[in-house]
Amino acid sequence: MTPDQLAHIRSKIEARIEEIDNALAEDDPESKPVAPDVAIGRLSRLDSMQAQQMNLAQQRRQREEKEKLESALERIEDGSYGICAYCLSPIAYERLEAMPDAVVCISCAR
Ligand SMILES: [Zn+2]
């Protein structure tokens, strides 16, 4: 991987982390428990509880993704980024471009 390619992936990772941070910040008021005394019918209360569950699941995924991206940034810092954790071969740039948090090469992922 060339330094340019690495810089490109790095900025992609940083942009994605920012995106997740923004999404999590926006979602925050939604994650509060649904107040029982809210005067919205039984059904819509159920709906909003369901929506809240989905929201929480999505936030969990976003946090996990952010953690992976942050560890990818750490690997960029220490120079181990783009090396398959399993067979130690370089991971194809195309794969990293599509999936910057990939830790194993395409053959090991199969
Ligand atoms: Zn591998």
Give residue 63's pLDDT.
Answer: 97
Query: In terms of residues, how long is the chain?
Result: 110
List pLDDT tens digits, range 12-53: 999 999 999 999 998 766 555 655 555 556 678 788 888 889
**What share of the chain has pLDDT > 70, as a percent?**
85
Whole-number Å distance, alpha carbon 81 to ligand 1 midpoint, is: 13
Q: What is the pLDDT of residue 14?
A: 98
Domains of the chain by residue range:
3-80
DSSP 87: T
More confident of the two residues 52 and 87: 87
What is the Cα–Cα distance from 92 to 83, expressed in whole angstroms?
A: 9
- Rounded-to-5 percentages of helix, strand, coil across the chain: 70, 0, 30
Ion ligand 1 residue ranges (Cβ < 5 Å): 84, 86-87, 105, 108
Instruction: Answer yes or no: is pLDDT of 95 > 90.
Output: yes
pLDDT score of 82: 96
